[in-house]
A and B are shown apart, each in its own frame.
Chain A
Amino acid sequence: MTISTLQDTTLDTLRYGKEQIMKKLFTLLLAISLALGVGAVSLAQDDDMSGMSFEFTEEQIAASPYLQSVLSRLEQSYDTSEFAKDGPYRIAFAAQGTSNAWSALMDAHAYWYVEHLGEDVVSELLYGDAQASADVQVPQVEDLLAQEPDALILVPMGAAALSAPVERAMMQGVPVVLCASAVETDNFVTEVGTNLWVVGASLAQYVVDQLDGEGNIVIMTGIPGVTTSDIMEEGADAVFAANPGIHVLDKQPGFWSPADAKGIMETWLVQYGDDIDGIWSGGAQMSQGIISAYLDAGLDIPPIGGGEWQNGFLRLALEHDIKYLAWQYPNAMITMCIDAALQILAGEPTPRFIDFSGVIPNSEPFTDVEGADYFREDWSDDVHGPITMPDEKLEELGFKVMDDGG
């Protein structure tokens, strides 16, 4: 098995309505078993996979331990022979847990994928629900390790807090796959994710490009102290610093909350009003709050660097014709994490950094130009694409697919 097993399968489920799902399920199962190799087919015609590619300067790399780590790990491979054993495997999954839809969909993907692989591949998925809190996750990882799993997949809730537990897992002989975020130690097998520095920088570059390098902007970060947020901010700062025409009016954390984001944006609007020419936002939920504040104030919305494939955001953006660049952080990447774990347990050499971009279909960044193609009328606001599991799973999970509107 390789990390790119399931890619081709998902398009269909995205594209077709639910009436076709039963039929599709068969196709899907077939497709998964057949598909090997990378098949990055895009929903839109936009095949440009390098939407987030970015030229770093030497200085930027030198200034960022994160960049150094990612760039070097992209080229490294881990000799996993010490972990090789026969299946079926018991895999521990320390998830972000029941905190938001993104995470719930990741869990759903995990359960679906394990079920799909079959009991002779993964006999048990041990699960820990961190409730998005490092305090909860640290002991939980200990609980999971006490069950002596064959591998640990971890969505770390704190880069620092989870470092020592990761090292202890490795010491115990349990290979660790980091999913969606990093920890401070280098002592793990591999990380599945994307270059968050580049994400932050690309979103910033988009804003800069939209303004032709001249203008006032505001920056809304996620949660200070959370790695994903901090690294994206670092990338953004680097780009804005490199563009002297850009004036940063203010930077505040919006805590990835639409309510907090809206509150701060309202204050900015009364403070700067029309002077704001562009906005950098660290997440779609905050972008929703930002848009909402603009709508209330009745002001024109400047370009936003920082949407995501999140149905609610797309709905708003489409309705109000907003210019944005959306990045992606597909929860479906968990399937790649599971694949990575299986690869490790098979003793195959494993890259130390696995970028989902270009592997999971439709996980590339897109702009308002293609936005309509991503928006799904039948999904509820909370759904984050892309979804690689069948639609039934989505409905089972309680995502109401919208009624016809009476």
Chain B
Amino acid sequence: MTLAKRKSKLALSRDNRWRLRKFVADYGVYIALLILLLVAALLTPKLFAVDTIAVVMRQASQLGIVAIGQTLVLLVAGLDLSVGGIFIMTSVVVAEVGNGRNEMIAPAILTALALGALVGLGNGLLVTKRRVPPFVATLGMLVLVKGATQAYTRGVPGGFVPEALGIVNQSWFVLSVPLALWLGLNAIFIFVLRGTTYGRRVYAVGSNIEAARLSGIPVDAIRISVYVLGSLFAVASGIVLTGYVLYVDRFIGSGLDLDSIAAAVVGGTAFIGGRGGLLGTIAGVLIIQILSTMVVLLGLDVEVQFIIKGLVILGAVTLYSVASTES
């Protein structure tokens, strides 16, 4: 009798703990987003105009798409710093292959995706086969990709971005092409992560690589595939960005690499892998984007944005850290 009673009591306290932890992990970032929106309602009501929402969502999509890939890579306890190089490479490829001709858009995109996959493969092989820490492997690839793009273009990307790529700037009220793409990719990959064997394996590899190996999961193949996916999402973001500016830009997407990590981390994806997911990242992306829009709406200096962004990252991880720390 007493034993049973004690057991149920123990179970209850364990129960509360993991439920609290899970609540913070799953919804903490949404609470933060809600608070941010309340602050915005007081300071910048303009944020809630349909036009503003449309702009915020479209800009968020550019970050959001690459953040999907970054989240996947973080889930297997990785990191991808090479995305910045991929943006530039994509922009150059679209201009060089596309060369102003709309019928060349598809070949241009395919070329960019193929090259992106190659970069991802390089990242994955370095991390799995040579056991290079992801930070260093993807940093090396970043320098390499930038250098290769530079060598190929000899400093000057030739060609033109085909005008039809401007389709990504189309929108119907709030729904723009990038937003649709972002939401669509999120829907697909939320399902992939939750409902498919592949998704399970991604989490398993990130959560405990040795256990995953002993469970018969081809861990190297999973990790390589995730790096390839990460690069492909970077290409997708690069294409949206290129269509956005319709111009080859050497600095295209600068800052989005670190922002994508920040978005995932703020969204609750753990740096050590296996924990978090895309729902959190969506909120992380929105927080970062709304903050930068508010800075413009308030007419604040850009430097303030850096400080706020840093504090938001720290605040979010502190929350997760405190919530997950055992007694």
Contact = CB atoms under 8 A, between A and B. Distances in A.
A259 B251 CA distance: 9
Nearest to A129: B155
Interface in A124-164: none
A105 B103 CA distance: 30
B5 interface: no
Interface stretch (B17-25, B45-53, B181-189): B45-53
Contacts of A250: 296, 299
A107 interface: yes
B138 interface: no
Contacts of A105: 156
A104 B150 CA distance: 11
Contacts of B171: 296
Contacts of B103: 406
A98 to B, nearest CB: 4
Given A255-B251, A259-B253, A400-B159, A270 B245 contact: no
Given A100-B250, A224-B302, A288-B246, 7 more contacts: A101-B156, A104-B155, A266-B55, A269-B51, A273-B51, A292-B244, A403-B101
Contacts of B299: 250
A55 to B, nearest CB: 31
B261 interface: no
9 contacts: A99-B250, A258-B247, A259-B245, A269-B55, A270-B52, A270-B55, A273-B51, A296-B171, A380-B158
Contact of B246 (A252, A263, A292): A292
B247 to A, nearest CB: 5
A400 B101 CA distance: 13
Contact of A402 (B96, B100, B250, B293): B100
Given A267-B52, A267-B55, A271-B46, A285 B247 contact: yes
A98 B155 contact: yes
B169 interface: yes
B293 A296 contact: no
Interface in B222-264: 241, 244-254
Contact of B302 (A252, A270, A403): A252
A98 B150 contact: yes
Contacts of B161: 381
Nearest to B289: A263
Nearest to A394: B156
Interface in A247-261: 250, 252-253, 255, 257-259
Given A250-B299, A257-B251, A292-B169, A406 B101 contact: yes
A267 B44 CA distance: 12
Nearest to B292: A263
B154 interface: yes
B80 to A, nearest CB: 20
A399 interface: yes
B65 to A, nearest CB: 14
A107 B155 contact: yes
A100 B171 CA distance: 31
A98 B95 CA distance: 18
A271 B158 contact: no
Contact of B154 (A253, A263, A296, A397): A397
A405 B99 CA distance: 9
Given A263-B59, A400-B159, A270 B251 contact: no
Contact of A104 (B55, B156, B248, B296): B156
Nearest to A101: B156
Interface of A: 97-101, 103-105, 107, 224, 250, 252-253, 255, 257-259, 262-264, 266-271, 273, 285, 288-289, 292, 295-297, 312, 380-382, 397-400, 402-403, 405-406
B199 interface: no
B169 A380 contact: no
A-B interface, 7 closest residue pairs, ranked by CB to CB distance from nearest: A400-B158, A104-B155, A270-B51, A258-B245, A98-B155, A270-B52, A104-B156
B160 A381 contact: yes
A224 B301 CA distance: 10
A259 B46 contact: no
B96 A400 contact: yes
Nearest to B101: A406
A406 B101 CA distance: 8
A267 B297 contact: yes
A386 to B, nearest CB: 16
A98, A285, A399, A402: which has the most chain B beta carbons within 10 Å? A98
Contacts of B122: none
Contacts of B245: 258-259, 262, 288-289, 292
Interface in B197-235: none
A269 B296 CA distance: 11
A297 B50 CA distance: 13
A146 B293 CA distance: 48
Contacts of B51: 269-270, 273, 297
Given A259-B252, A270-B52, A296 B169 contact: yes
A100, A250, A253: which has the most chain B beta carbons within 10 Å? A100
Interface in B254-304: 254, 293, 296-297, 299, 302
Nearest to B171: A296
Nearest to B56: A267
A403 B244 contact: no
A250, A255, A271, A405: which has the most chain B beta carbons within 10 Å? A271
A3 B158 CA distance: 31
B297 to A, nearest CB: 6
Contacts of B296: 250, 252, 264, 267-268, 271
A347 B253 CA distance: 48
B291 to A, nearest CB: 12
A149 B293 CA distance: 49
A398 B101 contact: no
Contact of A381 (B96, B247, B250): B247
B99 A400 contact: yes
Nearest to A312: B247
Contacts of A270: 46, 49, 51-52, 54-55
Nearest to A252: B296
Nearest to A400: B158
A105 B157 CA distance: 12
Contacts of B246: 288, 292
Nearest to A296: B169
A266 B59 contact: yes
A262 B55 CA distance: 11
Given A267-B297, A270-B55, A296-B169, A258 B156 contact: no
